[in-house]
Amino acid sequence: MLYTELLQLWNQAVQAVDKRDWEGALSKLNQITEPTSRTLFVTASAYLALGQLEPAVKALDQVIAKDERLAVGFFQRAGVHTLNGRLEEALSDCIWAQKYMRDNSVIDYRQLGLRYKLYSWQVLYNAAVVHCRLGLWEKAGSILEKASKEKGGRAGTVEVALESLSRKEILDPLLVPEGEVFRPRKQDIEQLQQRDFLGKAKVISSMIPNDDFGGFEPLRMQKPGYYEPKGDPSQDSCYMRLRSPYMAHGPEELSVPGGSIVFVFSNANAEGLVTVIYDGQVRRGTLGVDNDQCFLIL
């Protein structure tokens, strides 16, 4: 399937997750014919929120198959295995998650679209949970002691768990919070929306004085006198094209590229002199004729 189609369905699924519409999210996700590890993680999260542990595990199996070094995938599957009573599988996943932490105390997944930080103490915590459920209380306690020395925002979680272990109370595993899923990049979603790359045409520099037309030249309304600035009725005016480029020799002259069109006023009272307008500038010059073709001598 096209990547744009995947993005659309993924984004719609995430919007459904934000509304806690888990069935709606799954409906969109199931339309993705070539899921990625991140879209499959969303699928697993939706099944988990619905309390459907087996489908959640199967989705997490695919997440890890797609990205075998995704520590948070092993961490999440360890928690689901624990809830499902598969303690050996859960412990194995804790070990894999710890391995792919790569000696880091924390991995921040925000760059991948998941607003979640996975701490090494959380992985150890889930390993302790497995051991306490296996009845290995001392081992669970020693793992939690190690977790208490790890860096990260534990907010007393490990300390409370140690107290619970002293009373031989079964602990619940930690999971990525409900609703926290991998999201497509905002920039990618914005590019899916229809955009007007041309925009409305604007006149930046017109060859026609007092021009405020904003369309394409062939579409301009054509009617006599439409372009011509208002002036003295005794003046004749017209457009002329400069045969060759002219470089100004002083502030009283104009520099005009060859082939450019200028607007010319001629005054009967000033023989041979004309007023020339080009690019918003006004200068005086003389008018010549060559082979019955008008041209300007500035």
* Chain centroid, CA 159 distance in Å: 41
Are 133 and 17 contained in the same domain?
Answer: yes
Which of 192, 208, 231 lies at the terminal end of a domain, its last residue? 192
* Chain center to CA of 197: 17
Share of the chain above pLDDT 70, in %: 74
pLDDT at position 297, please?
47
Does the pLDDT of residue 148 top 80, yes or no? yes
Cβ proximity of 117 and 75 under 8 Å: no
Q: Are residues 7 and 87 in the same domain?
A: yes
CATH number assigned to the domain comprising residue 144? 1.25.40.10
pLDDT of amino acid 96: 96
Same domain, 152 and 293: no
pLDDT score, position 279: 73
SS3 of the chain: helix, strand, coil, percent, to 5: 45, 15, 45
In this structure, the answer to whether residues 174 and 229 fall within a common structural domain is: no
Q: How many CB atoms lie within 10 A of CB 36?
A: 17
- CATH code at 234? 2.30.30.40
**What token pair was written down for 256?**
């005009």
What's residue 259's pLDDT? 72
Choose the weakest-confidence range: 253-257, 278-282, 293-297.
293-297
Query: How many Å apart are CA 61 and CA 51, to the nearest integer?
Result: 17
Residue 241's pLDDT is: 78
Can you tell me which residue has the tokens 């899921």? 35
Residue 165, domain extent: 3-192
With cut-offs at 50, 70 and 90, classify the pLDDT of residue 283: confident
Q: Among 192, 209, 242, where does a domain finish?
A: 192
Mean of the pLDDT values across residues 241-253? 65
In a domain, 199, yes or no: no
- 265 shares a domain with 121: no
Which phi and psi (to 5°) does residue 118 adopt?
-95, 120
Q: Mean of the pLDDT values across residues 151-180? A: 92
Greater confidence (87 vs 208) lies with 87
Same-domain check for residues 140 and 285 = no
Instruction: Report whether pLDDT(295) > 50.
Output: no
Predicted confidence at residue 60, as pLDDT, reads: 98
Same-domain status, 172 and 250 = no
pLDDT in tens, 3-16: 999 999 999 999 99
Residues 106 and 171 in one domain: yes
pLDDT band for position 195 (cuts 50, 70, 90): low
User: How does pLDDT run across 261-279, given as a tens digit for each residue?
Assistant: 877 777 655 556 677 787 7
CA atoms within 13 A on the CB side of 39: 23
